[in-house]
Structure 1
Amino acid sequence: MNSSDNFQDSALSRLMPLMNSSFTPGQAQATVDNFQDLEQRQIAQAELYYFSGRAEECRNIAELYLQDKDLCLRLSAALLYSFSNLTLGNPSASRMGFRNIQECLLLAKDSSAPKGIMASCVFANYLAMVLMHLPTDGLPPLQDFLPSLPSGLRAYAVYVLAHNAYLHKEYKRALGLCQSVFLMLDGCYPVAMEYLYCVIIMCLINLKQQDEARKALIKAWNMAKPDGFLEPFIEHHGLMLGQIEACIKPAEPESYRQLSQAVIAFSRGWMAIHNPQLQSSVTDKLTPMEYSIAMLASKGWTNQEIAKQLSLSPNTIKHYLSRIFHLLDIEKREELKPFVNK
């Protein structure tokens, strides 16, 4: 290994260090505490706050590193700052964070940074664009940089690619990408694995493999619970099309209540950036259950199919849809799509 390789390894260790860590579920805080480097430990703590739904505490740490000279620290901070501010209802701060991520890529290009650093910048930019459902045109292909990323980040990068494939309705391809990661991982990386499970669930639902989707959700939930990692389910709630309501709500009503409150906050912030003209129409009027039903109906699912998905009666779904139409001031299913453009 040459000096450039050593530099890259050292620098990359500060890019989302908790995400990149292999640990047993339930040991997230211990993993954070074991980091010897203070700044690395601080960023890892911010990650832990974010993934466990503590957006304000995450934001407070992340903002300390937004202009750090270490690009990987800065990228980590900007990612965490951007997404935590979505939940906190600060879209202007989120936009500033996203611009910071773009600036890091420009800096890396201008300075002819080592490939590992370039990989970090491309990874962060793809992550931000795909999770905000924005086009990645103009970015270098993320797949070209996968070999330069360490295991945990590489697994999460494949999640990003799979999520992008899902958004293009390439459900089988997205599913295959996620499943391939589980075959190749060299350890347990809970953060990346929980996000991969989310895409697996989303794809299985759209492929009408409901039983398999529920099994995957239960696996993901059981992995996330010991560390309180609610964020993957918060971010993907709408795209899971009612599976959380069907699986988690009956068994763990208190956990579902906490999740629902966080979903509303995150969705409000997401819509403020992505579809601001509809923000109040959706996030302030529809409950998470109503939003899930609206999503399914907008995809052409029948009342009977929605009822089976949510373990409700078709008549109950009919009443829900009547209420949704009234709240959104629309008259038919075809008009739902702009409101659930997520």
Structure 2
Amino acid sequence: MANYRSTQEMAEKWGVSERRINQYCAEGRISGAQRVGKAWAIPADAEKPADPRQTRRQGKSAPVKTASGALIDQANFMPLMNTAFAPGKCRDTVEVMAPGPRRDIATAEYHYFTGHPEKAAKEAEAYLTSPDMGARLSACLLYAYANLSLKRIQRAEFALGELNVSLANAGEQVPEFRAAAAFISFTGTVLLHLPLPEEMPQAKSFLPLLPPGLRAFALYVQAHYLYLKQEYDHSAGIVEATLAMGASDYPIPAIYLHLIAVMDYMSMKQTDRAEAHLLAAWEIARPDDLIEGFGEHHGLLGTMLEAVIKPKWPEDFKRIIDITYRFSSGWRRVHNPRTGHDVADDLTTTEFAIAMLAARDWTTQEIAEHLKISVNTAKTHISEAMRKLNVQNRKDLKQYMLL
């Protein structure tokens, strides 16, 4: 790569530390920088990113300003999600950030993704009305989801409403603002399984404007959208391509991408591939305790947690189930009234997961073999789920499941 330079060479050229160069690359602040294995290759003629602290001291405006005067600073837009770090270094990554909105939002992200919604909500709340739209949009999303887990539905609804306002305001002629607003708003809509738009925004209209970590998570959202449309093969293809093109460097998006692949492959009865993706997600998540996503997706994973995680990591599994009960209770209180569709709320997690497989046309024998339980035990779980939901057959069961 003759026209590229290493991080060490660029550090010497720009007079900064190599650590700072790696940080610039991870944040997507160096145009054309590419991941090569565990290192970065940087175009030889790349321009040195401006230091936001220095530009503020000089009275310059580093963020982009919208027509209404709001600022959109991508450095403060879900910064932890958009940072590459080695498994086990998540907390360290947050702590080395300079004090200010970026570090505060990253701290809220850290607490949310490690299953501490009360801390996340408190930290995000301070930025709900911030003039910095990067911090504000991030805070709204985190505050909404954290309050779902805390069963503070009115607060969650307020934050979701703010996201809708942001999408409406995205008609302004600032591409970065439109991209950020579209990303956040569709993330809120798709992941809550609210009434979906006929089609997602054209990827080419906003994906190139997002930094790499957020681009990876946006593709997770798109894959989730396709899953909900039962286009499992298409969804899995997006996941596999996104991971192959460098998303694995960004732990939080990578975890969520792998979980979507589990959902897709379980729907297609490809259990070996589903298990491989679950273990890949677990290997990334466990060193930093990033277990929130596993709890959020529990039922959609179709008993894969029971089959793979529970036997080897029983204490972690219990914590995941605690997250599942906590999150799903609040989730349903938003989803069911908005959509008019009742999602089962009185099944145990095991009954729900097994009912998901039954609704996906898995036979009782297949379910029993997958979970290594007897056919009679599998049949009992299915019958109990149907009794609680007052349905007579598997076809009717589908209306309560999230296929």
Please, what TM-score do these two structures have when normalized by structure 2? 0.79
Q: Does residue 136 of structure 2 align to residue 74 of structure 1?
A: yes
Q: Does residue 102 of structure 2 align to residue 40 of structure 1?
A: yes
Q: Which of 334, 337, 344 is residue 282 of structure 1 equivalent to?
A: 344
Q: Does residue 121 of structure 2 align to residue 59 of structure 1?
A: yes
Matched residues in 2 for 1:333 and 1:93: separation?
A: 36
SS of 2:76's equivalent in the other structure is: coil
Which residue is 2:292 aligned to?
231
Matched residues in 2 for 1:142 and 1:70: separation?
A: 25
Q: CA deviation at 1:186?
A: 7.1
After TM superposition, the structure 1 stretch with the greater mean CA deviation from structure 2, 151-160 or 328-337, is: 328-337
Q: CA deviation at 1:48?
A: 0.4
Q: Does residue 188 of structure 2 align to residue 128 of structure 1?
A: yes
Matched residues in 1 for 2:354 and 2:72: separation?
A: 47
Tell me the C-alpha RMSD between the 2 structures.
Answer: 2.3
TM-aligned CA distance change 1:30 to 1:175, over 3 Å: same
Which residue is 1:116 aligned to?
176
1:239 partner letter: L
Matched residues in 1 for 2:136 and 2:256: separation?
A: 23
Which residue is 1:297 aligned to?
358
Contact kept in structure 2, 1:82 and 1:95, CA below 8 Å:
yes
Matched residues in 2 for 1:94 and 1:180: separation?
A: 33
User: Superposed, which structure 2 residues align to 1:191-270 within 5 Å?
Assistant: 191-270=252-331
Matched residues in 2 for 1:170 and 1:322: separation?
A: 29
Q: CA deviation at 1:305?
A: 1.4
Q: Does residue 381 of structure 2 align to residue 320 of structure 1?
A: yes
Q: CA deviation at 1:59?
A: 0.5
Please, what TM-score do these two structures have when normalized by structure 1? 0.92
Q: CA deviation at 1:108?
A: 3.4
Q: Does residue 306 of structure 2 align to residue 272 of structure 1?
A: no
After TM superposition, the structure 1 stretch with the greater mean CA deviation from structure 2, 17-26 or 125-134, is: 125-134
Matched residues in 2 for 1:310 and 1:117: separation?
A: 47
Q: CA deviation at 1:278?
A: 7.7
Which residue is 2:236 aligned to?
175
Contact kept in structure 2, 1:12 and 1:117, CA below 8 Å:
no
Matched residues in 2 for 1:301 and 1:138: separation?
A: 29
TM-aligned CA distance change 1:270 to 1:217, over 3 Å: same
Contact kept in structure 2, 1:130 and 1:136, CA below 8 Å:
no
After TM superposition, the structure 1 stretch with the greater mean CA deviation from structure 2, 321-330 or 209-218, is: 321-330
Structure 1, gaps ≥5 residues long: none
SS of 2:118's equivalent in the other structure is: helix
Matched residues in 1 for 2:390 and 2:370: separation?
A: 26
Bigger RCO of structures 1 and 2 (CA < 8 A, at least 6 apart) = 1
More helix by share: 1
Identity of aligned residues (%): 36
Matched residues in 2 for 1:193 and 1:20: separation?
A: 11
2:298 partner letter: H
Matched residues in 1 for 2:198 and 2:367: separation?
A: 35
After TM superposition, the structure 1 stretch with the greater mean CA deviation from structure 2, 320-329 or 303-312, is: 320-329
Matched residues in 1 for 2:247 and 2:330: separation?
A: 36
Which residue is 1:309 aligned to?
370
How many residue pairs get matched?
338
Matched residues in 1 for 2:305 and 2:207: separation?
A: 31
SS of 2:165's equivalent in the other structure is: helix
TM-aligned CA distance change 1:79 to 1:89, over 3 Å: same
Matched residues in 1 for 2:124 and 2:397: separation?
A: 37
1:59 partner letter: A
Q: Which of 54, 57, 63 is residue 7 of structure 1 equivalent to?
A: 63
